[in-house]
Each structure stands twice: as C-alpha cells, then as structure tokens.
Amino acid sequence: MNKKNISFHLISILAIGVSAKCISLISRMILTRFLGQEAIGIYSLVNPILVLILTLSSFSLPTAVATLISKGEGKAKTIIYSAFTIVVLLSLFLMFLLLLLSDLISNEILFNSKTEACIIASLFIIPLTSISAIIKGYFLGSNEIELASYSQVFEEAGRLLFILLCSYLFTNASVEAKASFAVFALGVGEIFQISSMLFFCKRTYKSKLCAFIKTKNIPFQSNELIKISFPLTIAKLIGSLTYCLEPIIFTHLMSNNSFSSSYIAIEYGIINSYVMPLLLIPSFISLSLSNYLLPNIGKCMKEKNYIKARTILLKILIISLTIGIIISCIFMFFGETILNIVYGEEIGLSYLRKITFFFIIYYIETPIITALSVCSLSSKSLFSTIVSSIIRIVSLIIFIPKFHVMGIAISTLLSIYVDVSLNFFFLNAFFKRNNVKLIF
C-alpha cells in the first residue's frame, strides 16, 4: 500500500469514527436529559464494576485473536473456536456471581441501594460484549478495519434508537429504572454491532462462517491465546480494579466528611458522566487508529520490517496528539457552549477547564499499548499498569479529602502520565534493540 492509499485509508477510518462519535454525542445529550443528575450518578457508581466484569469476561481475547490472525499464526477456526469457548464459560460464571453479589455490592460497598437494579441490568450485556469483541477482533486481524469501524456506527445508532424509545415511553420512571435503561442501551448497541458485522462482511467471510458452523471436532488450543491475553488481562484487571475502587474510596471518604449519599452520587456523576466523557471524545480517534495499527504493525513484525513499523507508529501518535491538542483548545475556549449543547447546562465547566490541557497525553495511550501488544511486550504493559494503578489509589486517598471530586481528576491524570511514560520507554527500547531509533 503506497503513501497515498495509506493516507486515504486513515482518513476513511477517521471519518467513520467521527460519524460514530457524533451519534454517540447525540445519544449522550438525550440520555443526560432523560436520566437527570441522580440517575446519572447511580449509573456512574455502577460503571466501574461493570468495566471490571467486562474485562474479566473478555479476558483480552479480542486483542489476542486479532494479533494471532494478523501474524498468520495458527488456523483461524481453532483460534475463533477456542476464544468463543473461553468467553462463553467466563460470561456464564460472572453473570451468576454478579447476580449472587448484587445486594452486597449495592448496600455494603457502594452504600446506595438504588444501584442494585442497575447491577442486575448489567447481566444482559456481559455475554453480548464478549462475543461482539471476539468477532471484531477476527475482522481486525484479517485487516477488515473499515468493517470493524462501520460496526461502531451501527452500535451507536442502535443505542440511540433504544434511548429515544425509553425517553418517549418511560419519562416518569423511577431513578433506578432510568439508570438501568442506560445499561440496557449498551447491550442493544452490541446486538446492532454484531448484526452489522455479520450482515455486511464479504461473501468469503460468510462462506467461512457457514463452514465453521458445520465443522465438527475443532481442536481447542488455548496456549497461544492465553500467552497474549493473560498479561493483557492482568493489566486491564488491575486498571479495572483501581477504577472499581475509585467510587468506593470516594464514597467512603466523602461519607466520613458527613456528605449525603445523594450529594456524593451527584458529585461523582458530574466528573464521570459530564466532564470525563467530553475529555474522552478524541479517544475514538486513538481507538480507530489503533485498529489500523494492529494488523499493519503485526504484518511488519512478521516481516521484521521495523523501520516501516516505526513510521506507521509515529504517524499514528502524531495524528492522535495533534487532534487531542485541537480539541483541548476547543474545550478551553468554548467549553461553556459545548456543555450547554450536549447537556443543556454548564455543570462541570470549572473542572473541564482545569484539566483539559493536562489530559492531552491520554490520547496516545491506546496506540502505544496496542503497539506493545503486537511487539509481544504485554508483560511490560502489565508492569506499567501496576505502577500507575498504585499511584492512582494512593493519590485518591491523599487528594479526595482535600480536593473532593477534583481529587479523582488529579489521581487519574497522575496515573495516565506514569503509564504512558513507562510504556513509551519500553517501546523505544524494543526498537533500539532492533537497530531502529523510535525517537532517541
């Protein structure tokens, strides 16, 4: 693929990503108006636990599937069959466990009984998210990046339709029910994503799918999958556990300062459902570019073409960083207008302006982690995650009593800077070992 085709391909992927994000923003605008501050706060309190469960259920197998297929290692049927078997068994176990512990989590850990309905609603999306991710990983590994990107558009569209339906039919629903609808919307989006990938894939893939279904006695071989997925999962698990501890630490420390549960939920909702989603808007660019990065660098690693791999990686990092800077400038100078357009109010404006420029480095985190995975350096990513997670937990305990909800933002930024710095150091060392300078 020449430079002109690469540039066109990247622009095409970014355009699809922009379309998906626009639909996502519309969904959020409608959702925040439908839910209200307390329901958003409840959803925000449950979300870290949901992220933890989804991390466990997927076991980072989508990345492992994409990596193995992009490198041409092993038979696709065996890889897909083994990955599906693992995620289905994990999903069933975690669904049962979450159902069993829902009352304990809501009343004894989050100190908010209204979160229980939201936790139970999470059962619906666990298997859907895992299956969708495996299918997407297969297409990414097969270099069908545009198909995987288009599926995000359908995912967001499905979510939007469900939110519109709920906002029309259940206007007077309880706070707990509204928060549960927000969780159900995630599952509906996954159904749309799975359907779109299977429906719009090339005829050759449909033939392969039919052949796969008819094939009997497919061998179960998990060694290569687990070799890649295990360190990634441990890294994500540590990150998810840290994220899961965040609302627990926040609610405990704020409760000790005599704040009410409703106030705590609202404040947590402001930072996690108003401010952070806006700051994460450019992350779709990083994700889309990472989807491009994975199969292409995988191919370079297979051919031992480290110069080309470096060129692709640096181009991705520069694009991600540049767009992040532009969007941060927009948030700084037009944050008030954006908050009014998206949420219908200026809530969280001061937080947004305080942290927007510090957040820029986050936009290169995903491409760097993806590159580490393809270069078989997942263990290095694990080390970085452990260090950054410890720093995040310690800083939460230090800063929340003094800065309240801003303590969450400070701890998040500290952990991101540590994680990105360490991962970049390991990636640079890898290229130097192969006689190619990444930057220095």
The mean pLDDT value for 118-129 works out to 87
> Mean of the pLDDT values across residues 237-248?
78
pLDDT at 3 > cutoff 60: no
CA 407, 273, 405: angle at the middle one, nearest 5? 15
* pLDDT at res. 422: 92
Q: What is the mean pLDDT of residues 34-38?
A: 78
What average pLDDT does the segment 123-137 reach?
Answer: 86
Angle between helices 61-71 and 76-104 (to 10 degrees): 170
- Whether residue 34 has pLDDT greater than 70: yes
Share of the chain above pLDDT 90, in %: 3
The per-residue pLDDT for range 175-186, each reduced to its tens digit, is: 888 888 888 888
Q: Which residue has the higher pLDDT, 431 or 206?
A: 431
Under the banding of pLDDT at 50, 70 and 90, the label for residue 116 is confident
- Whether the per-residue pLDDT at 415 is higher than 70: the answer is yes
Q: What is the pLDDT of residue 418?
A: 93
Q: Which amino acid is at 206?
A: K
Mean pLDDT of the region 343-348: 77
What whole-number distance in Å separates Cα of residue 59 and Cα of residue 65? 11
Residues 237 and 51: beta-carbon distance below 8 Å: no
Q: Do 140 and 294 touch, CB atoms closer than 8 A?
A: yes
What would the pLDDT profile of 185-210 be if each residue is shown by its tens digit?
Answer: 888 889 999 888 888 877 777 677 76
Amino acid (one-letter) located at 353 = R
The per-residue pLDDT for 439 is 66
* % pLDDT > 70, the chain: 91
Determine which of 187-196, 287-296, 423-432 has the lowest per-residue pLDDT on average: 287-296
pLDDT above 80 (res 87): yes
- 77, exposed or middle or buried, with CB in 10 Å at 0-12, 13-18, 19+? middle
SS3 for 190-211, per residue?
A: HHHHHHHHHHHCCHHHHHHHHH
pLDDT value at position 76?
A: 74
pLDDT surpasses 80 at 96: yes
Residue with tokens 């705590």: 264
440 has pLDDT over 60: no
Among 226-230, 417-421, 431-435, the range with the most confident prediction by mean pLDDT is: 417-421
* For residues 100-116, average pLDDT: 82
Confidence of residue 379 (pLDDT cuts 50, 70, 90): confident
Name the range with the highest mean pLDDT among 223-227, 283-287, 409-413.
Answer: 409-413
Q: What is the pLDDT of residue 417?
A: 92
pLDDT of 214 above 90:
no
The whole-number pLDDT of residue 219 equals: 67
Q: Report which residue type is found at 389.
A: S
For residue 10, pLDDT beyond 90: no
**What would the mean pLDDT of 61-84 be, rounded to a whole number?**
77
CA angle 59–64–66, rounded 5-degree value: 130
Q: Is 220 exposed, middle or buried (0-12, 13-18, 19+ CB in 10 A)?
A: exposed
Highest mean pLDDT among 4-8, 40-44, 186-190, 278-282: 186-190
Does the pTM of the predicted model rise above 0.85? no
Domain borders along the chain are: 20-433
Q: In whole angstroms, what is the distance from residue 61 CA to residue 83 CA? A: 6
d(CA 268, CA 262) in angstroms, rounded, equals 10
Summarize the confidence of residues 263-281 as an average pLDDT. Answer: 79
| pLDDT band, very low/low/confident/very high, at 414 (cuts 50, 70, 90) | very high
Contact (CB, 8 A) for 43 and 118: yes
- Can you give the pLDDT at residue 434? 80
Nearest by Cα to 45 from 413, 389, 322, 408: 408
Assess contact for 269 and 31: CB atoms under 8 A.
Answer: no
* pLDDT value of position 401: 85
- Does the pLDDT at position 217 exceed 70? no
